[in-house]
Amino acid sequence: MKGKFFQIHKSFEIFKSNPRNIFLLDGIGALVSALSLLLIIAPFEVFFGMPGEVVHKLAILAFVFCTYSVVCYILNPIQWRFFLKIIIISNTMYCLISLCLLVYFYNSITLFGYSYFIMEKLVILFLVYFEIQMGRMEG
């Protein structure tokens, strides 16, 4: 357990030395989510159970978040904490919306659908936690 904590702490140090990298990490994560939704979840609606139209809207949100984060990474704003707060709130809202959709479509979501969406939320919420820690750091 101590080894895992050290690895997470070491990762935090990498981002602490250059906070703009958190935007790149967030952008890559949002891109992976969007592509997963479009290329895996949407084409196999019957397998996952989430309606394709809903999946496409979630993918659009993920692409918007990807664009926002990559633009923040490129522009490297001086007030990066303000822009980080926006993506923290956006990521959290995305998770809440997705969870509400799981409840709304509970009759059609399959075990594979629940597994995918819950795992995605866990990854995003871990990233949100990491982003909050970044926003709190000194400097």
3-state secondary structure of 105: coil
- Written as six digits, the tokens of 36 are 């997963």
Note the pTM of the prediction, 2 decimals: 0.87
Q: Determine the average pLDDT of the residues in 30-55.
A: 97
The dihedral formed by the CA atoms of 59, 60, 64 and 69, expressed in degrees to the nearest 10: 10
Residue 20 confidence class, pLDDT cut points 50, 70, 90: confident
- How much is the pLDDT for 3? 55
Cα–Cα distance measured from residue 132 to residue 67, given in angstroms and rounded to the nearest whole number: 20
- How much is the pLDDT for 7? 56
| pLDDT tens, position by position, 61-118 | 999 999 999 999 999 999 999 999 999 999 999 999 999 999 999 999 999 999 999 9
- How much is the pLDDT for 12? 61
